Amino acid sequence: MPVSAPEPLNKTHDVSNFACGKPALDHWLRTRALSNQEKGFTVVMVVHDSGRVAGYCGLAPTAVVPTVLPRSIKTGQPPNPVPCLLLGQLATDLDWMGHGIGTGLLRHALVRCVQGAQLVGGRALMVNAIDSEVASFWRRRGFLPSKDDPLILFRSIADIAASVMAAGIEPCGSNH
Ligand SMILES: CC(C)(COP(=O)(O)OP(=O)(O)OC[C@H]1O[C@@H](n2cnc3c(N)ncnc32)[C@H](O)[C@@H]1OP(=O)(O)O)[C@@H](O)C(=O)NCCC(=O)NCCS
């Protein structure tokens, strides 16, 4: 089942039957994603098959108190709050799960984070894991748990940039 390249969510996309197995993420896509995007809270990127959304992710700026950061990311005398980016959502519809869509959306989001941080700063990418299984998904991808909560994880933008470069992607010259 081929899907589109990632593109910004718009009202022509069909989100009505999206189901990833985590109702909160389904509900957010159906009811909040478009208005959040229109108001500038979140950039929502989707991949779709003839308009039907197969996967999506949401990125937003955020800021956190330094004390929640893992020690290796907190380093030095950071400002309070610390500017960060938030990958608030990542989900694949069950009909497409296990075919690389989540990996592709995440790669796309990581490149965007590096590009965004180059323009306006940002120390780390933060993710909120819904449960401990999802937290281990993020730890396998280089994210470190926060000091206070194992379900909030961070990966430094410097670390992400290094992995993006190692993969042969040039963030400055890319539109993706
Ligand atoms: C996590 C998720 C986005 C992965 O999407 P995907 O398109 O299936 O991803 P890929 O095919 O690229 O595989 C990536 C990972 O998903 C896992 N995966 C594949 N099929 C899966 C399935 N049916 N159920 C659960 N995880 C699955 C793979 O094991 C792989 O993880 P690993 O490399 O750490 O072992 C997807 O399982 C999902 O939407 N889960 C529900 C929402 C969620 O928990 N999102 C997490 C962020 S809040």
Whether the CB of 29 sits within 6 Å of ligand 1: no
Between the CA of 69 and the centroid of ligand 1 the distance, in Å, is 25
pLDDT digits (tens, 9 = 90+) for 18-53: 999 999 999 999 999 999 999 999 999 999 999 999
User: Rounded CA gap, 136 and 150, in Å?
Assistant: 10
Contact indicator for 176, 5 with CB cutoff of 8 Å: yes
Please give the model's pTM, rounded to 2 decimal places: 0.93
Ligand 1 neighbourhood includes 92 CB (under 6 angstroms): yes
145 contacts 152 by C-beta, under 8 angstroms: yes
Index of the ligand 1 atom closest to the CA of residue 90: 47
Distance 73 CA to ligand 1 centre (A): 26
pLDDT in tens, 108-154: 999 999 999 999 999 999 999 989 999 999 999 999 999 889 999 99
What spacing in Å lies between the alpha carbon of 100 and ligand 1's midpoint?
8
Identify the three-state secondary structure at position 121.
Answer: coil
- In the chain, the domains with their CATH numbers are 55-173 (3.40.630.30)
Residue 41: Cβ within 10 Å count: 15
The one-letter amino acid code at 124 reads A
DSSP assignment of 62-79 equals EEE-GGGS-HHHH-S---
